[in-house]
A and B are shown apart, each in its own frame.
Chain A
Amino acid sequence: MSNRPYSYYVEDKALNVSQRPRKFLEAFAAVLNHSNYGLALDAYARLTAKCGRCAIDCQLYQITGADEDIPCHRSELLLQVYRRYFTQSGVWKARFIDNFTLTDEYIDRMAEAYYRCTACRRCKASCPWGIDHGLITHLARWLLAEVGIIPKALVVSVRHQLEGVGNTSAIPANALKDTCEFLEEDFGDIYGAKIKFPIDVEGAEYVFFPAVSDYLLEPDTLMGNAAVMALTGGSWTIGTKNFDGIDYGLFYSDRMFERIVKNLVAEVRRLKGKKILIGECGHATRSAWFVPTFCGPDAPRVINFLEYTYQALIDGKLPLKGKLIDDRVTYHDPCNIARDGRIIEQPREILKAICKNFIEMTPNRTENYCCGGGGGTVSIDEIREFRTKSMGKRKADQIRATGAKIVISPCANCKKQLREVCEDNGLEGVAVMGLHDLLLKALDYSSLPQVEKKDDDLDATVKLNEKKGK
């Protein structure tokens, strides 16, 4: 058997799992016993009207037109298992007329279907019942994981985080410290002012968890974060035991999801910090919003960096040089922070304060289209064509229609995906970046301690890589 029975790679050990239907049903029973999913499944299984409204709003179905990409069709795969094995009527029906049986083939069908959905939850708003197909995808992926079916890219990251160095990019603490020093130097060289990345400071107001990949790929985002903190006098720190906000457990297993969220809280408590500050990352933010779910109501509060910066802006604590950004700028709403309407206006207000030519995509806010790489699929390189051409086509059309030169997206996963979407859909002149990357260019640093300015034009990413190469 090939190690790629699905569109994505799985680990070899996943191919040797025996008795998968039995194990799937055992996991399903355990989950139903200990979670609140049963309530939703029961209502959905009873009420689903099969009206097809969800199909209209699904960006994948809009492109493929394939029946299997209708959200309601996909959810029915799991609901059929639920009805047959976990409802009295299903058990009785099976004795007389229904011949549905969970098989290996059926599990493989689900394995393919539930990773064609990014769980963006756009279709929930178009369902008269409010059926949350994203919830079904989330649950189905967990059950699939319990029989070993997990995209290799996701499980390897989680292994690094929970059993390895402690973060998904396998960055050792010393390398983190070096990177932070590089960033402080770079900032001085480019902007002529001093900022600090505080490490392991006890008692800080905020303990900072960006997507750890930002330390490798997004220096401007991090410098923007640190600059805002320096200018506003924010009390913050980065912990060396855990400095990764990424939580791929959200994408495939509540068991992993819970462990990773609890690790965030453990680091805040180790450092005697007060709040969790999440960097520019959609899924990291949504995962952290589950802190009270997994750790109870007394757990630290969670703030996204956009909320912090927005508050500083409206409090008049953010010194801006004005609307310095001439290029046309648009904003992509990451599903994980925008779908429920939690972070929508804050980034727009910041952008409007610094951009001369800000333009909205249509649709936007809670009705936005997913970047096409949500639900962890952005990390699965082997499905890039599916992600950028099928899933990402609508987003490419949206960006093209704005005529923007810069797309802002405050999410590590969205940024990677959008860059690939632009590359694969003929949008070469479009730059994709984080919000703090742009803000960095519009802040007034005169109130900070000054240093000698060098290398005005040198790109921070290039510099960081050059220094690491030395």
Chain B
Amino acid sequence: MEAWLAWAKGPFFLFSISFMILGLIRHAVLTIWGISRAVHLAGDKSISYKKIAVASLKWLIPVGALKNRVVYGVTTLTYHISIIITPVFLGAHIELLRRGLGVSWPAIPNRLADTLTAIAIVTALALIIERASAKDSRHLSRFQDYAIPFVIAIPFASGLLAAHPSINLFSYEATMFIHVMSANLVFILIPITKLSHMVLLPTTQIISEVAWHFPLDVGSKVGAVLGKENEPI
């Protein structure tokens, strides 16, 4: 088990984190290039970036945007806060980083980390239940919509157990192996699923706006390609 854990924490972790970072960089570069190209081609280049920024911020700080489906909204918001803050500001993670790369930042107290971890697990399960119980979202949902919160909950649950041997029924190595492997799986899933919104979210409002800014003569060009320039209506 120790060898497996070393592999998961070593080469496989490096692969997973690199896959995530490179994948997200690729998304960001392609998206920004796509937006620039679209604006360059657009007949009307006057775009209200201020309005777009306001719409984006409204959802990055969604106070006031949660008036519909309040429970779902509050669950989502709490979930996001806990899954971002806990792994980034956990003392043990920062210590690993300090040892490996020599960089560090202030950690949150372990008690707070435990509370946020518990919130992350509970809200992940709540999201699954709420998705399944609301008729509109249940109808729309795919396998990945249920699987992703579940997969994300695993490193949190295993991390909590690893940090508290007194409540852990499994061996420390096995728990850590699951913790690291599930985290690696999340890293791999981020760029290839809807989780890529962690870098693309700030761009979607602008994309929705730019798409209405058609290139000059788009209609005529499509008509020509389809051989319909002179076709009667």
Show the binding face of A for B, using Cβ within 8 Å. 26-27, 30-31, 33-37, 39-40, 42-43, 46-53, 55-57, 61, 65, 67, 70, 72-73, 76, 124-126, 128-132, 135, 146, 155, 158-159, 162-163, 253-259, 290, 292-297, 340-341
Contacts and interface: CB of A to CB of B under 8 A. Distances in A.
A256 B219 contact: yes
A294 B213 CA distance: 9
Given A35-B218, A49-B194, A340-B51, 18 more contacts: A31-B222, A35-B214, A35-B222, A36-B214, A39-B34, A39-B38, A47-B197, A47-B204, A49-B197, A51-B131, A52-B137, A125-B55, A128-B65, A130-B205, A146-B226, A162-B233, A253-B219, A341-B51
Given A39-B207, A70-B136, A159 B201 contact: no
Given A131-B208, A255-B219, A292 B137 contact: no
B218 A49 contact: no
Contact of B139 (A43, A67, A146, A292): A67
B211 interface: yes
A56 B137 CA distance: 10
A36 B210 contact: yes
Contact of B208 (A73, A130, A295): A130
Nearest to A135: B211
B82 interface: no
A40 B43 contact: no
17 contacts: A33-B225, A39-B35, A47-B201, A49-B197, A53-B68, A57-B68, A67-B135, A125-B55, A126-B68, A128-B62, A130-B204, A130-B207, A132-B208, A163-B232, A255-B222, A258-B219, A293-B43
Contacts of B207: 39-40, 43, 130
Contact of B68 (A33, A56, A61, A294): A56
A36 B139 contact: no
A35 B215 contact: yes
A209 to B, nearest CB: 19
B21 interface: no
Interface of B: 31, 34-35, 38, 41-46, 51, 55-56, 59, 62, 65, 68-69, 72, 76, 131, 134-137, 139-142, 145, 194, 196-197, 200-201, 203-205, 207-208, 210-223, 225-226, 228, 232-233
B222 A30 contact: yes
B23 to A, nearest CB: 12
Contacts of A258: 217-220
Main secondary structure of the interface of A (DSSP, over half): helix
Given A131-B208, A292-B44, A56 B69 contact: yes
Nearest to B139: A67
Contact of B219 (A47, A50, A52, A259): A259
B211 A26 contact: no
A40 B208 contact: yes
B213 A36 contact: yes
Contacts of A158: 233
A255 B216 CA distance: 12
B204 A254 contact: no
Contacts of B204: 43, 47, 129-131
Contacts of A34: 215, 218, 221-222, 225
Nearest to B232: A163
B55 A130 contact: yes
A49 B204 CA distance: 13
Nearest to B69: A56
Given A46-B194, A49-B194, A297-B44, A128 B219 contact: no
Nearest to A29: B225
A56 B213 contact: no
B73 to A, nearest CB: 8
A30 B226 contact: yes
